[in-house]
């Protein structure tokens, strides 16, 4: 009998692989009648020091990302996912998802794309590899 999940966490960043991961997560959530939690990470390191000091810039970036994630949430609902919620975290994506988001959400599985939109992390290899290595739950890397 195939595994069923109660809560699926999916990371999105608009890369082609992340969109495939999102489609897979929707399909799995519908099949399992699982809750789908959509997370995106606002990366502070991509901002200049002037942008970090500018609250309007931070709020603008956050509001833009929130509106974007709400479109993902609606897409999941339109596809038949009954329980969908979204989260925005801040920091370095792999580490933030592993250390902050997963303990808070407590998913059965994390679904991510294999290549981050902004390229690979300079220190840990790809974000997906970092999450697969350190996440306390199963990780499905989609490509």
User: What is the signed CA dihedral for 66, 57, 121, 21, rounded to 10 degrees?
Assistant: 20
Distances (CA, A) of 10 to 36, 38, 94, 118, 129: 7, 5, 12, 17, 15
Domain containing 130 — which CATH number?
3.40.50.620
What lies within 8 Å, CB to CB, of 52 at 6+ separation is: 44, 58
In tens, the pLDDT along 100-135 reads 999 999 999 999 998 765 544 444 447 899 999 999
Q: Examine residue 2 and state whether it is found in any structural domain, yes or no.
A: no
Q: Examine residue 1 and state whether it is found in any structural domain, yes or no.
A: no
- H helix or E strand, kind and range, residue 20: helix 16-32
Looking at the structure of the chain, the number of domains it has is 1
Q: Examine residue 12 and state whether it is found in any structural domain, yes or no.
A: yes
Kindly tell me if the per-residue pLDDT of 94 is higher than 70: yes
Q: Examine residue 54 and state whether it is found in any structural domain, yes or no.
A: yes
pLDDT value of position 124:
41
Q: Examine residue 28 and state whether it is found in any structural domain, yes or no.
A: yes
CB 105 within 8 A of CB 37: yes
pLDDT value of position 15:
83
Q: Tell me, yes or no, if the pTM score tops 0.85.
A: yes
pLDDT value of position 134:
97
In tens, the pLDDT along 25-75 reads 999 999 999 999 999 988 766 555 555 556 666 667 888 889 999 999 999
**Tokens 């599985």 found at:** 109
DSSP code, position 101: I
Phi/psi of residue 116, nearest 5 degrees: -75, 150
Instruction: Please give the residue range of the domain that contains residue 116.
Output: 7-142
Q: Examine residue 84 and state whether it is found in any structural domain, yes or no.
A: yes
């Amino acid at each position: 009998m195939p595994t069923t999940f109660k809560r699926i966490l999916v990371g999105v960043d608009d890369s082609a692989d992340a969109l495939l991961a999102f489609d897979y997560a929707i399909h799995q959530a519908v099949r399992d009648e699982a809750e789908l939690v959509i997370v995106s990470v606002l990366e502070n390191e991509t901002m200049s020091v002037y942008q970090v000091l500018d609250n309007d810039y931070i709020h603008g970036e956050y509001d833009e990302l929130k509106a974007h994630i709400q479109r993902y949430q609606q897409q999941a609902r339109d596809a038949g996912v009954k329980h969908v919620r979204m989260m925005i975290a801040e920091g370095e994506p792999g580490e933030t998802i592993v250390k902050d988001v997963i303990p808070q959400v407590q998913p059965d599985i994390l679904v991510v794309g294999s290549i981050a939109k902004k390229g690979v992390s300079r220190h840990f290899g790809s974000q997906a590899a970092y999450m697969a290595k350190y996440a306390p739950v199963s990780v499905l890397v989609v490509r």
